[in-house]
Structure 1
Amino acid sequence: MITRVFARCCTCQNQTRLVLLRTFADSPDTGSSAEKMMPFEEYRKLKKSHKTKARLWGIPFAFGGMTASSIINVMLTPNMFEMTPEEIQPILGMDPLMLAAGTGAVAAGVCFVGGGALYTEVWKLVNKKKHQQIQQRDEDFLRRIEKHRFASFGSFQDDYYGDSIQTLSDYRQWVRQQQKKKEAHKDFIAEKPTT
């Protein structure tokens, strides 16, 4: 509709069509996302460093959770170390010291995961553009993995999600392996006698 309106207004129809095509090609709705997408190597490096930093952020949170759990346990059973073993009452059928160790370990694990999640959320707020680029690259990468993946119902597939892919050459190797699996499966089905 727009091209017809401009074509009627202008004397030189070919020039208006070229201008309109350029305008639509540069618009953000139909713009090429490949230009804005970060390179694969940078994407993998950024994902790896982000994961490492999130784990490192989890360590102080884990120690904090273990310390808080220990303080709470001492507050709940203040005379635990002053009693003889015969006087200590089991808590939930366990020795209070074992319960304290278990709750400390659980608190450390939960706070470790929470610290990593907190780092991720803070990073997303601070680096909105990079996060958007990573999300875009993730979608593209997973779409490509899904397109080339061979899935057989009969057996366990190694590297189904492409976890070992670190570089473009790894990706190409993974695609070749998936193609070989597809061909081998086709050959197997073709050789199978029908009854």
Structure 2
Amino acid sequence: MMFLRNIGIFNRSLLQRSVRFNSNSTFKINWPEYFRLKKINNRLNVGSGAVTGTMGVLMTLGGLANVEIDPEKPILGLDPMITFVGLLLIGGLLGYLVGPTFGNTIFKLSYKKHLPQYNAMDKIFLQKVKVNRVNPSSQSFSNPVPDYYGERIYSLKDYKQWLRDCNAFRRKSQEFL
């Protein structure tokens, strides 16, 4: 716990904030709860991306099923099968990119009561990542940058490991300059 106090993740003034709603109850969110909600949000985004990507492929396939082709004539200068596979991939990719919009909407509707504090904690967490992340200008194949945006941090254990990795990166970049 001393280590976490020194790095400032357990700053009392930031953790004591509570959001008041119309009722008499207050909801307090702590770091483990924040990381749990962050993981749920990520899983919803990836899952909805997979669903909408599949829907994009199926819709593209439905549209291409109605097209009459001559197997001997090229489409856009390419073999018709290559063109169709490319269009299926583009449809799936566009569907996958639309997915997180639905995932965020589901998350916001499901966790309405925690959303103000989640957003406040997210802002604090991103500030801490910004302060502690490394300078990527000295990266190499043997010394890659550890998770520059902190996207794979889903627990306090992951955060501490990320800090250790950042310190190791700094040490290696200083030694090998």
* Deviation of 1:103 (Å): 0.8
Aligned to 1:95: 79
Aligned to 1:4: none
* Deviation of 1:45 (Å): 1.8
Aligned partner letter, 1:172: K
Query: Could you state the TM-score of these two structures normalised by the residue count of structure 1?
Result: 0.61
Pairing of 1:164-175 with structure 2 (within 5 A): 164-175=152-163
Aligned to 2:45: 54
1:69 to 60, 65, 73: 60
Are 2:41 and 2:103, in contact at CA under 8 Å, matched by a contact in 1?
A: no
* Deviation of 1:174 (Å): 3.6
Give the direction of change, closer, same or farther, for the CA distance of 1:166–1:71 in structure 2 (3 Å limit). Answer: closer
Deviations 1:101-131 (A, max 9, x none): 2111211121122133222124324533433
Q: Percent identity?
A: 24
What are the ranges of 5 or more consecutive residues in structure 1 without an aligned counterpart?
A: 1-31
Aligned mates of 1:152, 1:55 — CA distance in 2: 27
Aligned mates of 1:153, 1:58 — CA distance in 2: 32
Aligned to 1:114: 98
Pairing of 1:132-147 with structure 2 (within 5 A): 132-147=116-131
What are the ranges of 5 or more consecutive residues in structure 2 without an aligned counterpart?
A: 1-12, 19-27
Aligned mates of 1:64, 1:146 — CA distance in 2: 37
The secondary structure found in structure 1 opposite 2:75 is coil
Aligned to 2:21: none
Aligned residues: 151
Aligned partner letter, 2:15: A
* Deviation of 1:92 (Å): 0.5
* Structure having the higher Rg: 1
Give the direction of change, closer, same or farther, for the CA distance of 1:93–1:51 in structure 2 (3 Å limit). Answer: same
Cα root mean square deviation, aligned: 3.1
Aligned partner letter, 2:121: R
* Deviation of 1:33 (Å): 4.5
* Deviation of 1:93 (Å): 0.7
Query: Could you state the TM-score of these two structures normalised by the residue count of structure 2?
Result: 0.66
Give the direction of change, closer, same or farther, for the CA distance of 1:114–1:164 in structure 2 (3 Å limit). Answer: closer
Aligned to 1:158: 145
Give the direction of change, closer, same or farther, for the CA distance of 1:136–1:107 in structure 2 (3 Å limit). Answer: same
